Structure 1
Amino acid sequence: MPSYPTVPAPSPTVRTAGPWIGGGLDVLLIILFAALGRRTHESGMDLGGILLTALPFLAAWAVATALARPGRTWARIWPAGVVVWLVTVVGGLLLRVALGDTAAPSFQLVTAGVLGLFLLGRRAVTAGVLRWRRRRPRLRS
């Protein structure tokens, strides 16, 4: 009888570790966004300054992620990923202004674009990798 490749079910490790890995990557990407902005505007690259710049966006992201149930959103672009991205951008900009910083229209557009690329792009890559892992044939020993 011929042996056919089988596709394994997602492992429990992927289901439980995924939200933590995805969340960690989101946090790193938001910090990278802040670092790139500070570098572009020659504001200094000290870690404290970068984290202070990232803080409003990290806080907004944390609220959005908690509300969007991270166990179900870490690899999905629509609708949860889009909601997390929009809340991160709008909430982060509002918090930034509330803390006394500026948010010029050009900064708002760059923020939406870069965080969209980072947060939605990371989810697209994650979804693609998971899809590839599920479809990849594995031969039985």
Structure 2
Amino acid sequence: MPSVRRTALAAVAADVVCVVAFCTIGRRSHAEGLSVSGIAETAWPFLCGTAVGWLAARGWRRPTALTPTGIVVWVCTVAVGMVLRKVTAAGTAASFIVVASVTTAVLLLGWRAVAQTVARRSGRPLRS
């Protein structure tokens, strides 16, 4: 498998892990069940947003780039996730939007910043 393809698949996997972690932590902090179905129910709107972000940013071109890929994926994850939650009568309180925005920013942009820093320090180019 070519390096670029591996990098893109790893980046998609990292984004999915970040979104699922966000939803799992949220469910735990609100004393909701941590079953696979419960986490999936919470995560699906945000995962749809992540997919929209990847398509909109053409994330496979520069999967580890903070901009545009990371920013577009993050904004779409939150925006599409909240719209889907709203249309399915799930909670979209202002405080939740703020917490979701900040937390997903730290996760989705944070791993990209770490990956770029590690690559820079190791002296090997990162296919961003």
Q: Which has the larger radius of gyration?
A: 1
Matching of residues 81-120 of structure 1 within 5 Å: 81-120=70-109
> Which stretch shifts more, 57-66 or 76-85?
76-85
Distance 1:72 1:130, change over 3 A: farther
CA distance in 1, matches of 2:105, 2:86: 20
| Contact 1:73/1:81, CA 8 A, preserved across alignment | no
Report which structure shows greater RCO (CA 8 Å, sep ≥6).
1
* TM-score of the pair, normalised by structure 2: 0.90
Normalised by the length of structure 1, the TM-score is: 0.82
Match of 1:18 in 2: 7
**Which of 62, 77, 96 lines up with 1:73 in the alignment?**
62
Cα distance in 2 for partners of 1:73, 1:101 equals 33
Counterpart for residue 5 of structure 1: none
Amino acid at match of 1:106: S
The alignment of Structure 1 onto Structure 2 pairs a total of residues equal to 124
Contact 1:60–1:92 (CA under 8 A) maintained in structure 2: yes
Point out where structure 2 has 5 or more consecutive residues left out of the alignment.
none
Partner of 2:120: 131
Q: Distance in 1 between matches of 2:62 and 2:93?
A: 30
Deviation of 1:35 (Å): 0.4
Q: Which residue, 18, 22, 30 being the options, matches 2:19?
A: 30
Indicate if the aligned counterparts of 2:27 and 2:34 stay in contact, CA closer than 8 A.
yes
Q: Does 1:121 align with 2:83?
A: no
**SS of structure 1 residue aligned to 2:60:** helix
SS in 2 for 1:74: coil
Could you say what the CA RMSD is over the residues aligned between the two structures, in angstroms? 1.5
- 1:131 is displaced (CA, Å) by 2.4
